[in-house]
Amino acid sequence: MTTLNPTDRHDLTRAVDLLENPSFAAKVTNLIGTPVEKAIKMLPDGVSDKMINTTQKALSKAMDLAVSTLDERYRGESADGAHRFLTTVSGAVGGAFGILALTVELPISTTLMLRSIADIARSEGEPLSEADTKLACLEVFALGGMKEDDDGAETGYFAVRAALAGAMTEAAKYLAEHRLSSSGAPVLVRFLSKIASRYSIQVSEKAAAQAIPLLGAAGGATINLLFMDHFQNMARGHFIVRRLERTYGKSLVQETYQRLASRN
């Protein structure tokens, strides 16, 4: 095949729209009425420096639990609404107790989000029992967040995947031979640290917004809803692309994606 059929092209267009939409930071700024970068500067000293360690621990704890609780035999639509509700509840707790609740609330919300991501992966035909799918679910947390040293050429969807490819290949090889729960293995630590370096940017944005005193529990719930919605969009786009790659090959899908993205 040299071109995508109309239905698949429509799906890819949707994936481009989801993956290239405004960042989580832009959505939070619209909600709180303050540039999120300013809110981050208002965080207590040392909080931002702890984000990578906190997010890596949260990802490590969530990794096995989230995927293993899904029933792969079910083939219906993903339960996006149920996951949004549960994450909203955890966000209300975080908002009520402010920045001090981050170490407790983040593993809960990350687990819920990873479970939702895996549910979306399954709905797009991904076999959840395979190591590659489990790692692709974690890969979603690296999407939609810019690092300070990124430039425009390094922040696109396929650029992020390329940056993670080496670590992902090593991790997949390890998981093919060992239990997923062995998250302390060096190859998995390297992979999770690459994910955490990007995920921590968005966690910092979330924490900064939830730390604003006037927001409280209701604001925290709303921010977590935005957080879940953002990663559900990233997941849907990501797994649409992977589904099409299985049908048409990576090169054609990437070329078509880039043509569609350039029109936005």
112-141 pLDDT, tens per residue?
A: 888 889 889 999 999 988 889 989 999 999
> Which three-class secondary structure string do you get for 195-227?
HHHHHHHHHHHHHHHHCCCCCHHHHHHHHHHHH
* 191-220 average pLDDT score: 77
* 145-159 average pLDDT score: 62
* 88-103 average pLDDT score: 52
Greatest mean pLDDT among 2-6, 94-98, 164-168, 173-177 lies in 164-168
Distances (CA, A) of 127 to 133, 135, 174, 239: 7, 12, 18, 12
The pLDDT assigned to 111 comes to: 85
State the residue for tokens 């989580």: 24
Task: Read off the pTM.
Answer: 0.83
The pLDDT assigned to 131 comes to: 84
CA–CA separation, 242 and 246 (whole Å):
6
* 42-57 average pLDDT score: 73
State the residue for tokens 């990794």: 63
Please state, rounded to an integer, the average pLDDT across all residues of the chain: 78
The pLDDT assigned to 12 comes to: 97
Cβ–Cβ under 8 Å, residues 207 and 99:
yes
The pLDDT assigned to 204 comes to: 82
The pLDDT assigned to 263 comes to: 81
* 179-197 average pLDDT score: 78
Q: Is the pLDDT of residue 44 over 50?
A: yes
Q: Is the pLDDT of residue 196 over 70?
A: yes
The more confident residue out of 254 and 155 is 254
